[in-house]
């Protein structure tokens, strides 16, 4: 995302169909169809700018993990108060 125009193409190993399309690319671009132009773009770049800037749902996973560990910590503290720590002395009641 910070370097959207890489020096190397995204696909380095091409099959026969892709090699034929790369040869056709060397000619006039007016003879290429829109689908062929998109296929050539996908050979060179991994994602479009819109796909790079698309929001992800990773924040939901992170927030779920935070809530899980907060809940686990609360259960651990409750267990320690009930079963581990001694009863409070009379002077603190």
The answer, as to whether pTM is greater than 0.85, is no
CB 10 within 8 A of CB 42: yes
Other CB atoms within 10 Å distance of the CB of residue 11: 14
Average pLDDT for the chain: 87
Cα separation, 81 vs 83, whole angstroms: 6
pLDDT digit string, tens, across residues 2-61:
666 777 778 778 889 888 888 888 888 888 899 999 888 888 888 888 888 888 899 999
C-alpha torsion sign, points 48, 53, 59, 62: positive
Domain 16-92 -> CATH class: mainly alpha
pLDDT digit string, tens, across residues 44-82:
888 888 888 888 899 999 999 999 999 999 999 999 999
Query: Is residue 84 helix, strand or coil?
Result: helix
């Amino acid at each position: 995302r910070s370097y959207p125009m890489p020096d190397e193409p995204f696909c380095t190993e091409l099959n026969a169909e892709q090699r034929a399309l790369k040869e056709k690319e060397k000619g006039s671009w007016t003879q290429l169809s829109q689908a062929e132009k998109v296929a050539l773009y996908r050979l060179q770049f991994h994602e479009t700018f819109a796909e790079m800037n698309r929001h992800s749902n990773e924040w939901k996973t992170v927030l779920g993990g935070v809530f899980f560990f907060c809940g686990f910590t609360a259960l651990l503290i409750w267990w320690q108060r009930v079963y581990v720590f001694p009863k409070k002395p009379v002077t603190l009641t």
